[in-house]
Structure 1
Amino acid sequence: MRLFLTVASVLVCVVQGQSQGLFSDSVRAAQAAIDPQEFANPSVLGQGKSKGVVIRYETLPRFGMSSEGKQNGIGGARASVLRSNRFEFKAYAPVINNPHFKLVMGGGYFLEEFNFKKPDNLNYPLYENLEDKDLRSLDGQIIMLRLINQRNWLLFRVKGELNGDYGKYSDISFTRYLRTSLEAIYGWKKSPYLSYGVGVQLGYAFGRQTIYPALLYNRTFNDRWGVEAIFPASVMFRRNISEKSLFFMGYKVEGATYNINIDTPPFQNFETVELRKSELRGRFRWEREIYDFLWFGLESGYRYTHKFDVYDGRNKTANPLIENNIKDAVYLNFEIFLVPPKRFLKQ
């Protein structure tokens, strides 16, 4: 048990604070376990617990899907998805941890599966592909936090992902599956209760790789209420119920692009085919301590699918091959995560 606590402390000693959106849990991993009143950094007093290791499971109940072909030879279809399940694992570890510079490396694995109501009656290449193959993502990232002085900080992240419906990892082609994203934010620490910053993000939140501005705003209004945001990707209002329990509500934009393999005509004429997805989520989240360093999170909300379309992967600006319409649905998300042990934070 003592060895486990030591390992957990090492994994999470570099995390302090929370941010959602594209940075998500990785921003927490870049904010070192330091006194927020002593150094300028993105965190504020009272915000959500740091996460060093995260295991997450999500399920979406039955929803409808309809497809319309936009190119010659590609037809349309309708189907009912019985459920969609998602599994995710994330972990972060410090590489450099000195008073004015933090370097953290992280990695993760994500899997999404679709189970159709009548899989034996599927007669549409896209649905058959989604039923038989899972969408997967294997990622690695580097997060750097530069504490410039008592008022200013600089946060930078670069991330690489292998996204697709691949099976064996020996079949992965880096040229086909590799996706890259980065974020950079320059910020100001006005007080232990207010930190904000401006920057840019290059990512896939809106379905394909796009550059857009990022406005970070972390503020604790009093001992009960606060807000944690990276606009426009995410805004979360926080309610501090107690030291062991927090409640959040807000929204989040999520997106990704996957290389998929469809062998039936006319898709074999394209060198690579991409599935681009983007969704907006209204979120209600509860985080609660189980025991000292071990916490759980329970989240539910409403998912609006903005995009779930198929494209020619070599033509980034072309019209879609297939436009999909997915019905909105309620989702349920459960996770277990490690936080710094209390005895470590008191040292």
Structure 2
Amino acid sequence: MNQPRFLGLGCLLLLGSGRATAQDIPVYPPPAPLDTTGLGRTDAQTFANSQVVGMGPSKGLIVKYERIPGNFSLRSTAVGGGADYRTEVSKNANLIVKAYAPLLNHPHLKLILGLNYDRQEFQFSTPAATDQYGLYNNIENKGLTVIGAQLAVIRPVDAVHWYLFRVKTELNGDYTSNELNISDYLKVTSEFIYGWKRSATFAWGLGLQLGYNLGRQSIYPVLVYNRTFNPRWGVEALFPARVLVRRNLSPISLLFAGYEVASNNYNIHLRNAFASPNNPRVTSLELRQIDLKLRFRYEHELLSFLWTGVEAGYRYNYQLNAFDRTNNTRDRLIDSQLGGTPYASLDLFIVPPKKLLQKAERRRK
């Protein structure tokens, strides 16, 4: 491993990652709007949660399209011998759809159902010519799809303490609708976080996540830290996966800057088997993708129930490695890395209408 890759690994071990995290789970109703005349008026709360004054509204339905400009490099090496593969990626795009709905919405107990769909597409400038790189032909022809469902239990214990439990199941891989076998693509993640609401402007929590944060399924620590320092500045963090500094430009406009470590884990079924040092017939691969994104994000209200988000930044790919799924040792067979490149995304999301929230607030009072 060369020095830049070694340093990259050290950074990622400190940062961690997470595809679906607790901060993605909305809380109904969302927090009160930022009190620009002086913080502290909303400090009295019957039940605590992780939200703080100044955060954006809860998201009910999200449609997002992310595009990375083409013609960046892909470098692959066959571990244990074999030819290398070099090409340019002419297209890398993501379509993401998420939906959240409250199954139960009591002040002391909330159950949130979430559904998600994610499709990532690659196109390469030159086809893969050797058997072990048939992986890329699969990806180019089918794309990489994620279909998932999650259930979150949010339990405010009292005015200070709260906890959250979430379990999520996903089907991750290069499948199509007529060849889907659930057991071949199923991934399960879960997390538990216990937290403290110190005031309307400060909430934090500690927990554990069982997931694929660094490619393989393991247990990782989680720190939630949400704090509004004044009417304009705050921080929203799910460390080590994501840290964002928030700037409240107005009651309907927010600006964010920070980083996110995103990981994907896909199961790939190959059309053509190939031989590896420990397996004469490799027919199935596990593809692990880990990206570090330095990001700027702007959110703005278009209508009382509709917001838009625009994001841009720089993506550094730590790895896009393939492991043998037909071998219990999970041997690493292909060591790949995508070139660093800028990226941009646009999304629309539906939030609870203000009139509905105001009505719910009057009921609580």
Q: TM-score of the superposition, structure 1-length normalised?
A: 0.88
User: Could you tell me how far apart the structure 2 residues matched to 1:320 and 1:30 are?
Assistant: 40
User: Could you tell me which residue of structure 2 aligns to residue 132 of structure 1?
Assistant: 141
> How far does residue 319 in structure 1 lie from its aligned partner after superposition?
3.7
> How far does residue 117 in structure 1 lie from its aligned partner after superposition?
2.4
User: Could you tell me how far apart the structure 2 residues matched to 1:208 and 1:254 are?
Assistant: 13
In the TM superposition, 1:83-98 aligns within 5 A as 83-98=91-106
User: Could you tell me how far apart the structure 2 residues matched to 1:266 and 1:51 are?
Assistant: 45
Question: Which of the numbers 283, 295, 318 marks the counterpart of 1:283?
Answer: 295
User: Could you tell me how far apart the structure 1 residues matched to 2:25 and 2:167 are?
Assistant: 15
User: Could you tell me which residue of structure 2 aligns to residue 148 of structure 1?
Assistant: 157
Task: Pick closer, same or farther for the CA change 1:34–1:234 going to 2, 3 Å.
Answer: closer
In the TM superposition, 1:231-250 aligns within 5 A as 231-250=239-258
User: Could you tell me which residue of structure 2 aligns to residue 309 of structure 1?
Assistant: 321
User: Could you tell me which residue of structure 2 aligns to residue 110 of structure 1?
Assistant: 118
2:139 maps to amino acid: L
Q: Is structure 2 residue 260 aligned with structure 1 residue 252?
A: yes
Aligned pairs, how many?
A: 325
- Given that 1:30 and 1:144 are in contact with CA atoms closer than 8 Å, whether structure 2 keeps it comes out as no
User: Could you tell me which residue of structure 2 aligns to residue 337 of structure 1?
Assistant: 349
In the TM superposition, 1:57-68 aligns within 5 A as 57-62=65-70, 63-68=72-77
- Given that 2:27 and 2:58 are in contact with CA atoms closer than 8 Å, whether structure 1 keeps it comes out as no
Task: Pick closer, same or farther for the CA change 1:208–1:97 going to 2, 3 Å.
Answer: same
User: Could you tell me how far apart the structure 1 residues matched to 2:169 and 2:283 are?
Assistant: 22
1:163-194 Cα deviation digits (max 9, x unpaired): 010012x4211221000101110000000000
- Given that 1:110 and 1:138 are in contact with CA atoms closer than 8 Å, whether structure 2 keeps it comes out as yes
Unaligned runs of 5+ in 2: 1-16, 33-41, 360-365
1:340 maps to amino acid: P
User: Could you tell me which residue of structure 2 aligns to residue 29 of structure 1?
Assistant: 26
> How far does residue 45 in structure 1 lie from its aligned partner after superposition?
0.3
- Given that 1:67 and 1:77 are in contact with CA atoms closer than 8 Å, whether structure 2 keeps it comes out as yes
- Given that 1:26 and 1:143 are in contact with CA atoms closer than 8 Å, whether structure 2 keeps it comes out as no
Unaligned runs of 5+ in 1: 1-19
- Counterpart secondary structure, 1:171: coil
User: Could you tell me how far apart the structure 1 residues matched to 2:138 and 2:266 are?
Assistant: 13
2:118 maps to amino acid: F
Structure 1 residue runs of 4+, over 3 Å off?
20-28, 30-37, 121-124, 314-319
268-277 vs 302-311, greater mean Cα deviation: 268-277
> How far does residue 32 in structure 1 lie from its aligned partner after superposition?
3.8
Task: Pick closer, same or farther for the CA change 1:276–1:234 going to 2, 3 Å.
Answer: same
Question: Which of the numbers 181, 197, 204 marks the counterpart of 1:196?
Answer: 204
36-45 vs 21-30, greater mean Cα deviation: 21-30
Q: TM-score of the superposition, structure 2-length normalised?
A: 0.84
Task: Pick closer, same or farther for the CA change 1:149–1:315 going to 2, 3 Å.
Answer: farther
User: Could you tell me how far apart the structure 1 residues matched to 2:284 and 2:20 are?
Assistant: 28
> How far does residue 270 in structure 1 lie from its aligned partner after superposition?
3.0
User: Could you tell me how far apart the structure 2 residues matched to 1:157 and 1:46 are?
Assistant: 25
- RMSD, aligned CA: 2.0
